[in-house]
Amino acid sequence: MPSHFCQGTPVAIADPALPPVLVYPIHRGDHETSFVPDREAPLARLLGHSRALILRATATGMTTGELARLAAVSPATASHHLAVLRDSGLISTVRGAGRTLHTLTPAGAALLASAGHRV
């Protein structure tokens, strides 16, 4: 399970009543904190924390799997968020070579800029 709170090496969590869990840090490179929206920020209040985070992350172009890991949600949940953002005209999706790449549309970039986020 990816975690913002796990730093360094992965940690195994074992509870006899539950399946074992491996918690590992989320690695996002040099821009590690650039995608973490404030839960109280207007964009997060409007779209929800995960959807706002996913929208911001598409500014650099990311795959569904990358976005799911970044937002710490299942691929199915990430796909749902992406469909809502795409249907709203905020992102575009290109499929090819076994990958699905999601990027901001001009409308998505304008929304982020109006909310004070760098694009």
The pLDDT of residue 80 is 94
pLDDT in tens, 98-107: 888 999 999 9
For residue 98, give Cα distances in angstroms to 1, 54, 63, 65, 86.
Answer: 24, 21, 10, 12, 19
Both 114 and 60 in a single domain? yes
| Enclosing domain of residue 92 | 33-119
pTM check: above 0.85: no
- Domains identified in the chain, total number: 2
Both 11 and 65 in a single domain? no
Both 46 and 90 in a single domain? yes
Both 81 and 93 in a single domain? yes
Domain containing 85 — which CATH number? 1.10.10.10
pLDDT in tens, 23-65: 766 654 434 444 555 544 777 888 888 899 999 989 888 999 9
